Structure 1
């Protein structure tokens, strides 16, 4: 016989509701009576000093991962000369980016099993190992393979830093601390090409990688001894690991790589109608469709199926793709425009990106302040996307007579938009889901953005180089001269008459307009998707 339920009066219920939840427990002492869980690091039991040490360690790791995005760019000619293998040198960047992107959702999933701190340390160790292998490479093939290893570690660092910050502070304050990460990326974008050029010119290109061996251990030591995050009970680890969606991971990696190869090859290495290009593209999309089917049927999917039913997460994830395409596509090809039209050197054209970096450094902290003060994030994504549409649209006017002053102003506006959107997109996706899925949705958003980075560069090259090659054939140039112009943009300044030089510069600028229109379309898609999302409330 069951005991009768205990009846309580309304007054008794009211008195019970007024009792503090922690009766008998010591009340935490903090100035201003602010809730303890709002203090930085208090969510995981870190003091103020420990918290800032952890933030230092995270951002040291982030700085080195960000540097390796572009530190190699200015060193490629030197490396190619040493190994006598220029034809495959593009894979020094592509190999790193592909592995970097593909491991992002995997690290997020493993972080949910073994702990984000543990996986961050593993990513750092792999990054250090890859850097050592890169520095000691004896051939181009070994260097490319080592860059893939380095990307596997760098992707873990990048993806998990963004997740770990959400473990340390309330979501409404995440933007403030991620703005530090944004500034780290600005620093890396400026310093990377300059350091790569300086190392290859005055020391050896191998120091592009050896520098990581000197600094990255700082991040690893802090991660091991100071980064203490909750981990699942050991008794659950084996079961969680065994039920991982290994088939889904394999299909996702295969599908993404196939599409990336198809886009990279099309119009450059092989014709778009070539069976290898068509096969990669068709096979890639079939594998991604199969991935979606697998995720609906496995017990522990890589990407929780509930995210596919979340309207805001879907909109923001798609927006991240176009954001990444616009960001990196412009970052790669604006310096080329400066070399062609203004006659800048490779190093000086990299300095020409400083206005864009300045805009990023302004837009990101402002967006973080707005989120922290008013607990809104979507407006940052929408305003940032609108600024990108404005700047990218005006860039479609660029030609051989564009002034440097106009370029500087537009790049500042563009950077402010990119900085605001960077903060707004990720935070909107994080707050739109449940706390247990924040790590998964963060990894998904960053993964899609990184894939967008790669596609932005590849698609820009496709629409630009194909048009350029066709337009150059209309000039009075031999096939050998056309190849020389395509391989070395600086050669036109000293190898051709002033009249022909002006025609070539104009052809470059006109052909590049196709790329500007593509970037404008990406910005427009970003704005549309940001407008389709919904602002969710930040949890207290």
Structure 2
């Protein structure tokens, strides 16, 4: 081998090694952040028993979700302006700070505040990690990497509750937060070596007005969907005031973005076919996904009588399907350069899976639930991996962070709104189906396997039947939403996937 060829070979090998290190570090960071969403679920009853505040228990999840939704687009834009390295390292520090607040919490209010700080860092880590992929890989190769990152999400959903349960039993619930310290430190150091620090030629001008108004709009969307019809009646002054605030903030956001030199979410992206179609599909898929995750364990526990632990395991088939289809879609995208048809096929399968779930009753075999959940996962996976890679291929390099963040943001908003809407639909169905089936001292909102077991056999049969029937409209609606997503995906214009770097 000639000296020049040997130098080139070494350079290429070093480049490949650096990219490999970057991808490993990014995957570890993504796992680190996504576990923060799921690891607390099995520890929540223990937290409430020690800290009190059972009426605020849902805010342990909601605070994280809300802060993640706000942190994603802001962190994405900061990554575009200042480089991914400093933003992702800053996100790790914020996430660990939130974990420390949670770990040392002596009240439910302090725990919720810590979860909000964690979510702010976690939302940024997720989107900036995905944007790093676009920095180091050509468009044709991104689908494979995004498929693997989608698999990381699936793994975190399965192992998060298991790790949380183990730590609670072996040590205490505080350790589900303290375990973040060494992992966060390791990720911080590795990313410091793996990522480069870009040099800006001009001073960045931050869009503070746009960031604040966008945060307000997203907060109203998440809070309104979670509080409306439950804590706040639809026609209450407080809820109407919240809606008015959201509308005013939305109008102000549009005005601010038109005037900003570096808008936090450039309005021109909404004229981009890929950005618009992929995020519309992602929003609708979020509705279907979070609705399924919320109500299938409930059906299994109340109607089928399985334990909470076993009902949680029935999410594993969904995640297995998601991991398999996400990885396969990325491989196909990388080998063929084609991707348009995959979201269409997968959302069609998702609609069929939702229709299958809509047939569940008190007599349905558990294998049917498992098969349907596998199909749900197969329908979700390609939307995750292909969607992010398609957006990254369609936007300029200086908007990669914002474009990547949008996919996560719209999916989270869809999940929040969908879960709230399905909850209202379910409550209405219960009231209709179980009007006179429960004793006078029993409440529809307190139905559980324990309360069901205390009823006479005839009443048990009537309640389980009414309960399962109340779930059917949820899955019919989810199937309809998936069909609409399938039709919308047909409007996606497939762009060539180049082997070179992203366009400037």
1:420-459 Cα deviation digits (max 9, x unpaired): 2211222222222223322221112221112222222222
Confirm whether residue 376 of structure 1 aligns to residue 343 of structure 2. Answer: no
TM superposition shift of 1:101: 1.0
Q: Does 1 or 2 have the higher relative contact order (CA < 8 Å, sep 6+)?
A: 2
State the match for 1:120 in structure 2.
88
State the match for 2:393 in structure 1.
431
8 A Cα contact 1:197 1:347, kept in partner = no
Tell me which stretches of 4 or more aligned residues in structure 1 moved more than 6 Å. 25-28
Confirm whether residue 88 of structure 1 aligns to residue 42 of structure 2. Answer: no
8 A Cα contact 2:164 2:176, kept in partner = yes
8 A Cα contact 1:105 1:440, kept in partner = yes
Confirm whether residue 245 of structure 1 aligns to residue 207 of structure 2. Answer: yes
Structure 2 gaps of 5+ residues are 500-504
User: Counterparts of 1:373 and 1:229 in 2: how far apart (Å)?
Assistant: 31
Confirm whether residue 366 of structure 1 aligns to residue 340 of structure 2. Answer: no
User: Counterparts of 1:508 and 1:68 in 2: how far apart (Å)?
Assistant: 32
Query: Which residue of 449, 460, 470 maps to 1:490?
Result: 449
State the match for 2:296 in structure 1.
334
TM superposition shift of 1:493: 4.4
SS at structure 2 position matched to 1:80:
helix
8 A Cα contact 1:383 1:420, kept in partner = no
Which is worse superposed, 254-263 or 382-391? 254-263
8 A Cα contact 1:99 1:152, kept in partner = yes
Q: Provide closer, same or farther for how the CA distance between residues 493 and 197 of structure 1 changes in structure 2, counting only shifts above 3 A.
A: farther
Query: Which residue of 482, 500, 504 maps to 2:463?
Result: 504
SS at structure 2 position matched to 1:296:
helix
8 A Cα contact 1:464 1:511, kept in partner = yes
State the match for 1:514 in structure 2.
473
8 A Cα contact 1:114 1:232, kept in partner = yes
User: Counterparts of 1:416 and 1:26 in 2: how far apart (Å)?
Assistant: 45
State the match for 1:62 in structure 2.
30
8 A Cα contact 1:267 1:466, kept in partner = no
Q: Provide closer, same or farther for how the CA distance between residues 147 and 221 of structure 1 changes in structure 2, counting only shifts above 3 A.
A: same
User: Counterparts of 1:80 and 1:504 in 2: how far apart (Å)?
Assistant: 29
User: Counterparts of 2:291 and 2:165 in 1: how far apart (Å)?
Assistant: 21
Query: Which residue of 274, 277, 297 maps to 1:312?
Result: 274
Query: Which residue of 442, 449, 454 maps to 1:481?
Result: 442
Query: Which residue of 66, 70, 77 maps to 1:102?
Result: 70
8 A Cα contact 2:226 2:416, kept in partner = no
- Give the 5 Å matches for 1:93-492: 93-233=61-201, 236=202, 239-240=203-204, 243-478=205-440, 480-482=441-443, 486-487=445-446, 489-492=448-451
Q: TM-score, normalised by structure 1?
A: 0.87
8 A Cα contact 1:355 1:415, kept in partner = yes
User: Counterparts of 1:202 and 1:342 in 2: how far apart (Å)?
Assistant: 30
TM superposition shift of 1:30: 4.1
User: Counterparts of 1:102 and 1:149 in 2: how far apart (Å)?
Assistant: 11
User: Counterparts of 1:54 and 1:230 in 2: how far apart (Å)?
Assistant: 15
8 A Cα contact 2:131 2:401, kept in partner = yes
SS at structure 2 position matched to 1:325:
helix
TM superposition shift of 1:470: 4.8
8 A Cα contact 1:69 1:93, kept in partner = yes
User: Counterparts of 2:26 and 2:465 in 1: how far apart (Å)?
Assistant: 46
TM superposition shift of 1:217: 1.6
Larger of the two Rg values belongs to structure: 1
Confirm whether residue 531 of structure 1 aligns to residue 499 of structure 2. Answer: no
State the match for 1:10 in structure 2.
none
Q: TM-score, normalised by structure 2?
A: 0.93
User: Counterparts of 2:438 and 2:125 in 1: how far apart (Å)?
Assistant: 51
SS at structure 2 position matched to 1:47:
helix
User: Counterparts of 1:268 and 1:472 in 2: how far apart (Å)?
Assistant: 19
State the match for 2:502 in structure 1.
none
> Once superposed, what is the RMSD of the aligned Cα atoms?
2.1
Confirm whether residue 29 of structure 1 aligns to residue 8 of structure 2. Answer: yes
User: Counterparts of 1:169 and 1:28 in 2: how far apart (Å)?
Assistant: 22
State the match for 1:3 in structure 2.
none
State the match for 1:14 in structure 2.
none
SS at structure 2 position matched to 1:452:
helix
Structure 1 gaps of 5+ residues are 1-24
8 A Cα contact 1:80 1:86, kept in partner = yes
